Amino acid sequence: MHQTVVDRFREFSIRFEGLVHWPYLDIKGLVTVGIGNLIDPVSAALALPWVLEGDGSPATREQVLADWSALKARKELAKRHYNAARPITRIRLTETGVDILVRSKLLQNEAYMRKRLTNWDRLPADAQLFCCSMAWAVGPGWVDIFKNCVAFLLKSDFTNAAKCAAIKTEGNPGIVPRNAANQVCLHNAETVTLRQLDPDVLYWPSHPDPNGDTIANLQAEARKTEAEWKGVPYRFPEDEDTLPNV
């Protein structure tokens, strides 16, 4: 993966998922933490470097189990802002803990996507960021479901890939700004390819041609939809029935 993608993925994702140091329930009632990271089942939570709020001491396995179970039982919190979940638990992830979790998941997703996207290393940074965004929202298995999009990516046809890259928004309106940002990434990748620009450079959220009307419209849409939903964490669970056919 281009280092520019690794370095800026956290910044990109926080816009759509928020950053939460305590566990909360997503809209599906699944326990989540960090930048939209599922920790459901509880085995996923037990592997993380939790500390206790207040004194910052390491949390024990028993404390993690107790807090996770207490939160999981509060199903009504799935319909509330993540701040409502904070008083239910004491376990917290530090900034370092969140970074470890996000980096690990990012690289896991990359390893899966490489199996399908055989030209992964040749994709421009903006195209890789698009792929990582898709994986973060609906799981790395998106490459097995969005077959038309993947077929165009394999041909480095980013314009047509953009036409079949939309994640469904029904019941998950927080996806709207992500879809808009994904469009900017793919159009950036097309410009990088056509102009033979440096593929290591990540242009998102700007563009190689800031005067291009199409790109300006995409960026305006991305800013508008992000402003409408900013701070509201939404995430699909990683199962195929949440993914649209193409």
Residues 246 and 233 sit within 8 Å (Cβ to Cβ): no
Range of the domain at 168: 3-242
Torsions phi, psi of 139, nearest 5? 95, 155
Q: Residue 40: helix, strand or coil by DSSP?
A: coil
* pLDDT of amino acid 233: 44
**Maximum Cα–Cα distance across the chain:** 57
Please, where are the H alpha helices in the chain?
A: 3-17, 42-46, 61-72, 95-116, 125-138, 142-145, 147-154, 158-163, 175-195, 213-229
Residue 116 CA: distances (Å) to CA of 45, 102, 110, 175, 238: 29, 22, 10, 24, 17
Query: For residue 43, what are the contacts with CB-CB under 8 A and spacing of at least 6?
Result: none
* pLDDT of amino acid 228: 58
Residue 27 CA: distances (Å) to CA of 45, 135, 146: 18, 18, 23
Q: What is the CATH number of the domain that holds 26?
A: 1.10.530.40
* pLDDT of amino acid 36: 93
* pLDDT of amino acid 10: 95
Conformation bin of residue 228: beta by default, left when phi > 0, alpha when psi is -120 to 50: alpha
* pLDDT of amino acid 239: 34
How many independent structural domains does the chain possess?
A: 1
Q: Residue 47: helix, strand or coil by DSSP?
A: coil
Torsions phi, psi of 128, nearest 5? -65, -40
DSSP for 16-33, please give it. HH--EEEEEE-TTS-EEE
What's the pLDDT tens digit per position in 27-55? 889 999 999 999 999 999 999 999 999 99
* pLDDT of amino acid 170: 84
Question: Which residue numbers in the chain have pLDDT < 50?
Answer: 231-246
Strand partners, 134: none
* pLDDT of amino acid 235: 40
pTM of the shown model: 0.83
* pLDDT of amino acid 214: 59
Strand partners, 52: 91
Of 88, 80, 79, 97, the residue nearest 23 (C-alpha): 88
